[in-house]
A and B are shown apart, each in its own frame.
Chain A
Amino acid sequence: MLALEGVSKVYRDGVEIRALWNVDLTVEEGEFIAVMGPSGSGKSTLLNVIGLLDHPTSGAYRIRGVDVADLDDRSRSAARGQLFGFVFQAYHLLAGRSVVENVELSMVYGPVPTRARRHRALDALERVGLAARRHSDPRKLSGGERQRVAIARALAARPAVLLCDEPTGNLDSATAEGIITLLGSLNADGLTIIVVTHDPDVAGRVGRTVEMRDGRLTVTTRR
């Protein structure tokens, strides 16, 4: 479904920084992949390239056979919004908007008609177990609850792939456990998930773990 071939992302910041270097990776429909590796090894960069937030400097990236280099800005934005759902370590919920309004945000720029958004947002909140808090101010929620809202926001747009960059990085282990369990059950329902994590326990719960080191994708472990 997703195929990276020899993908590199090079920054020139005085010296040449190889955030990604010659990465080959194929992701199949329904996979649950953990990306591990030390800080600065290029995990976030890999996720951003996959999610069309970032451009590789060289190499080929195909989504369902389509080379993304051929896409114009409009198609990239549309694909980013509809194919991928993002979950970040810092949640990025908008203060001053209710939980359900935050969830609806993922559908604002897509094809979902305005009238259907509320319904789909509530469905997604139901899925993460937070429907009761739909009118709350996200600032009043705990870290784990916020991350669930962020996951609901990603789910509401019904993406093909969920990209999570250290989703449990700000959470204690018990709360993190709950999030990982939730991701596991979403994957069991057929959602393709790629999660960047430092937590070795997560590795035991996923189908495949890839290791990043200095921009290179080194080891791949299947379970």
Chain B
Amino acid sequence: MFLTGLGTLLGVALFTATMGLSTTARLQVAADFDVFRATEVLVEHRDPTSNAWLDEAEIPALTRLAGVRSAGRLIELDNLAVRRGPTTGAREAGITLLGAEPGALDAIDPRLLVGRRFDDYHEDAAAPVVLLSAVVADRLGVGRIGTAVFIGDAPFLVAGIYDAVDRRKEALLGAIVPYRASAPLLASAPNTRRRVLIEAVPGAAATIAAQAPLALRPQEPDALRSIAAPDPTTLRGGIETTIANMGIALGVIVFVVGLVSVANSTLVAIIQRTPEMGLRRAVGARPRHIFAQIVVETALVTTIGGLLGLLIGELVTLAVAVSQDWVATFDFRIALAAAGASLLGGFVAGMLPAHRATRISPVEALRR
């Protein structure tokens, strides 16, 4: 009886595990390689305490490289205080501030709810203007452009408020000022990161990452290091889907083989239970009662097998997800499909043995 359900169990376990793993993996792939990160290249100094290199960097030479959409200097200052008024009593928030040249701002590509971006003019003038993320604007109670906020102790004019960015997601919880306008704030920031941010055309990120250090610092290219997201999703995503499809196909095959073996062993069991069938007829069972009994019994076996398989499949998914540090996903529809398939499969697998059982002559069955 339990061995009978084993085929269904294995089939469903395999099916659930592959479905679960492939959705989990697919989400993970999406998280790892979204299209924006795939077109992002960061260049930084190998020595994090080095400061001067960024101002010396040959941005125009970099911009001339094939595949560069936009590029610019970017400095990130952690944990800066932003206030509504000049005094410490005013509403305050600790944020990450990004100092970005217009080229870097283009790469960040903030979506503005109100206002407009700063440009080369503001950059050259080190104009004290700021783009606030909607989160920070909310915390400060700022709703309109033209409002003054104080970063560190310096006043900045709010030029715009944004609620989405393509790159440098940390900007969603912070604010952006012109690169040069951030210089006076360096003293009050405990933590800074100096980088060149490059937006590449799709597929060019790896090449640009290799060429950027030489372009930016020809006298000492080895001092710089490029950070590029691994190659785009298409290739690896495609492979993952193929593996998932193979797993699902294998699961379906094992499931079907399992059902056939269930049908077969039920048939054998029916032959062994011939006297029982005869007895049931003798106490008033009609052939349809016998049929229903066998079909329901078979469906019970496959459903129990299927539910156990589902459990095992989900546990495998969970174990793999945990060991890979992925977010485990439980797709209710997969569970429902697996349970439903086991139930239905049991009904189908039970049909032939059930039909056979109704053909047993009670007289033959009871003779001995």
Contact = CB atoms under 8 A, between A and B. Distances in A.
B294 to A, nearest CB: 15
A48 interface: yes
A73 B285 CA distance: 10
A74 B286 contact: yes
- Interface hub of A44, A109, A153, A157 (most chain B Cβ within 10 A): A109
Nearest to B273: A94
Contact of B284 (A78, A88, A89): A78
A80 B368 contact: no
Nearest to B1: A96
A21 B363 CA distance: 18
A139 interface: no
Contacts of B285: 77, 81, 108-109
B286 A106 contact: no
A157 B276 contact: no
A30 B163 CA distance: 95
Nearest to A88: B366
Nearest to A93: B279
Contacts of A110: 283-284
Given A90-B275, A92-B275, A94-B276, A82 B284 contact: yes
Given A53-B362, A92-B366, A109 B278 contact: no
B333 interface: no
B280 interface: yes
A148 to B, nearest CB: 16
B283 A53 contact: no
Given A81-B283, A82-B284, A92 B362 contact: no
Given A51-B282, A77-B286, A110-B284, A90 B368 contact: yes
B365 to A, nearest CB: 9
Nearest to A96: B1
A190 B286 CA distance: 29
A92 B275 CA distance: 7
A109 B276 contact: no
Contact of B363 (A48, A94, A106): A48
B355 to A, nearest CB: 16
A51 B368 CA distance: 17
Nearest to A73: B286
A53 B279 contact: no
Given A80-B282, A92-B279, 10 more contacts: A53-B362, A53-B363, A53-B366, A77-B284, A81-B284, A82-B284, A92-B275, A92-B276, A109-B289, A153-B283
12 contacts: A51-B282, A53-B281, A53-B366, A73-B287, A77-B285, A90-B368, A92-B276, A92-B366, A94-B276, A108-B280, A108-B283, A110-B284
